[in-house]
Amino acid sequence: MYILLEAAAASGGLPVYFIAVYAIGFIAAVTIGSIAWYNSKRPVGWEDKDRPNVVPKVDPTVGESQD
């Protein structure tokens, strides 16, 4: 075990901030994707299912021009 830790320390590897950016990006992508999926049209058989309370309702008309 000590040899593996010593080898990992000597190799340098990726910087911590590099890994943190990817981890935070992955979590953000999953969160945004989940919100988008829950607010989209339900698949066949899921039409009567309720949206979970943790998922905010998105109004598709917000931000559109009133022309």
Domain positions in the chain are: 14-58
Task: Note the pTM of the prediction, 2 decimals.
Answer: 0.51
Residue of 63, 62, 60, 58 lying closest to 32 (CA atoms): 58
pLDDT at 32 over 70: yes
Average pLDDT, integer, range 40-47 = 75
pLDDT for position 9: 65
d(CA 21, CA 38): 26
Contact status, residue 42 vs residue 49, Cβ threshold 8 Å: yes
d(CA 8, CA 34): 36
- Residue whose token pair is 């953000």: 28
Arithmetic mean of pLDDT over the chain: 79
**Which one is predicted more confidently, 52 or 27?**
27
pLDDT at 27 over 90: yes
- Residue 39: partners with Cβ closer than 8 Å, 6 or more residues away: 51, 55, 57, 58
